[in-house]
Amino acid sequence: MVTREETRQAREAKLDELHERLTGAVEQLVSGDDWGRALAFAARFRARSFSNTLLIWAQHAAAYEAGRVPEPVPSYVAGYRQWQTLGRQVEKGQSGFMILAPVTGRFATATPSDPESWRRLGKGEKPRPGEVVRSKMITAKPAYVWDASQTAGEPIPEPPAPKLLEGEAPVGLWDGLAKLVEERGFAVLRVPHEGMIHGANGVTDYTAKTVAVRENMDPAAQVKTLAHELGHVLLHGPDQEDARQHRGIGEVEAESVALMIGAAHRMDTTGYTIPYVSTWAARVDGKEPVEIVKATGERVRKTALTILDQLDTAQVGDGTPPGLDRETPHRNQPSHERSAPERAASGRQVQPLPETGPRAAASAAVMQGRDL
Ligand SMILES: [Zn+2]
């Protein structure tokens, strides 16, 4: 006879293992070639002044309205020749966005504290012995930049994008999660498309007390999103200062909760979760992405456990006799397509994350290629 406490301990152990696998998968992704190329590419674009950023955004928005660029917001922006050095060419007929490029001059003095004593150096002129030299902006001149979408050529290295889940949702999971969201005083809204929620799959609004999920994706993706938003509801209210320090940490936590809820229902969310968690973890300054993911482990596990305890859905490892839970849809990954390590692990019942060993696909491309 398996006691409730034993079941709970077994579940905790599984969630721990799951989190370790997630951490390993993030580590693999962020140390992979695709990730490195995307970072190196991004590093070639220097930060621009606030006013130039505004100039670019305004002109890009106008170009979007005129149908000259496909996206409302700019991606990578660079000058004509810089695009050429990156192997891309501005397309015919695309006019650039005007920004103000600073023109600097070199100034020298032997008495730096006296503002009157600085003199401008001519081109190539050297300072006299004992003089210090400083560069200073004298004026600004117009310069032109183009968005990546106005150029063609070598492909732009992009970090792997989260892949939306496909297929059916586990039976009863949407209703169970929605009930928990509502118990916290939030209304669950289903919106027709992402345009209504800032292009997102789901949004939690702590002020309006709403959780919105878009309907124009597969049920599996919708329910995964609801689990993510429930993670936000439970972990990231306005009174939760810690997690609100950086949005990246909050996103890592919410999506890790969604992964655990999914796994307990045989729903493999890794094709979405791993790139998503990696991307947000990488946006937190001062720490390696893997450190961020590791640090959230305890909170994530506790939250997932709280949620799973309150759901009355059929979950793996909850004592349901094997075979009875086969009705839970898991067309996400037909068994004959499973890889060997996954088949070997199937005795453990938790749908395993991709292996983290050297044999496993280190590159994000492979992770993305999983047919979820
Ligand atoms: Zn989120």
pLDDT of residue 324: 39
pLDDT of residue 52: 85
229 CA to middle of ligand 1, Å?
6
pLDDT of residue 327: 39
pLDDT of residue 34: 81
232 CA to middle of ligand 1, Å?
7
Say if residue 225's pLDDT is above 90.
yes
Q: How many CB atoms lie within 10 A of CB 171?
A: 15
Contact 22, 273 (CB under 8 A): yes
55 CA to middle of ligand 1, Å?
29
At residue 245 the predicted structure's pLDDT band, cuts being 50, 70 and 90, is low
- Mean pLDDT is lowest, of 30-34, 119-123, 190-194, 357-361, for 357-361
At residue 9 the predicted structure's pLDDT band, cuts being 50, 70 and 90, is confident
DSSP 231-285: HHHHH--TT-HHHHS-HHHHHHHHHHHHHHHHHHTT---HHHHHHHHHHHHHTST
pLDDT of residue 33: 83
Q: Which residue has the higher pLDDT, 163 or 43?
A: 163
257 CA to middle of ligand 1, Å?
11
At residue 241 the predicted structure's pLDDT band, cuts being 50, 70 and 90, is low
Q: Which residue has the higher pLDDT, 300 or 337?
A: 300
215 CA to middle of ligand 1, Å?
17
pLDDT of residue 178: 98
Say if residue 337's pLDDT is above 50.
no
Say if residue 157's pLDDT is above 90.
no
Element of type H or E holding 101: strand 97-109
At residue 329 the predicted structure's pLDDT band, cuts being 50, 70 and 90, is very low
155 CA to middle of ligand 1, Å?
29
pLDDT of residue 6: 82
36-90 per-position pLDDT tens digit:
888 777 777 767 787 888 888 889 989 999 999 998 888 889 999 999 999 999 9
Which stretch, 118-132, 159-173, 175-189, 239-253, has highest mean pLDDT?
175-189
Query: Among residues 278, 277, 273, 248, which one has the least CA distance to residue 31?
Result: 278
Please give the Cα distance from 95 to 63 (Å, whole number): 9
Say if residue 346's pLDDT is above 60.
no
120-147 per-position pLDDT tens digit:
999 889 999 999 999 988 888 889 999 9
Q: What are the extents of the domains in the chain?
A: 4-31+161-318+328-369, 50-153
Say if residue 304's pLDDT is above 60.
yes
pLDDT of residue 251: 94
pLDDT of residue 317: 64
225 CA to middle of ligand 1, Å?
8
Please give the Cα distance from 132 to 126 (Å, whole number): 11
Contact 351, 267 (CB under 8 A): yes
Query: Among residues 312, 272, 326, which one has the least CA distance to residue 175?
Result: 312
Burial call 120-142: b when 16+ CB within 10 Å, e when fewer: ebeeeeeeeeebeeeeeeeeeee
Strands 119-120 and 97-109: antiparallel
- Mean pLDDT is lowest, of 102-111, 157-166, 315-324, 352-361, for 352-361
> Could you tell me the end-to-end alpha-carbon distance of the chain, in angstroms, rounded to an integer?
36
Q: What is the mean pLDDT of residues 293-322?
A: 83
Query: Residue 341 burial (CB < 10 Å; 0-12/13-18/19+)?
Result: middle
pLDDT of residue 242: 57
Please give the Cα distance from 71 to 84 (Å, whole number): 22
Query: Among residues 161, 362, 364, 162, which one has the least CA distance to residue 258?
Result: 162
Say if residue 332's pLDDT is above 90.
no
345 CA to middle of ligand 1, Å?
30
pLDDT of residue 318: 57
Q: What is the mean pLDDT of residues 334-357?
A: 34
Say if residue 361's pLDDT is above 70.
no
235 CA to middle of ligand 1, Å?
11
Query: Among residues 322, 44, 308, which one has the least CA distance to residue 173?
Result: 308
The angle that helices 270-282 and 4-30 make with each other, rounded to 10 degrees, is 60
203 CA to middle of ligand 1, Å?
7
228 CA to middle of ligand 1, Å?
6
281 CA to middle of ligand 1, Å?
13
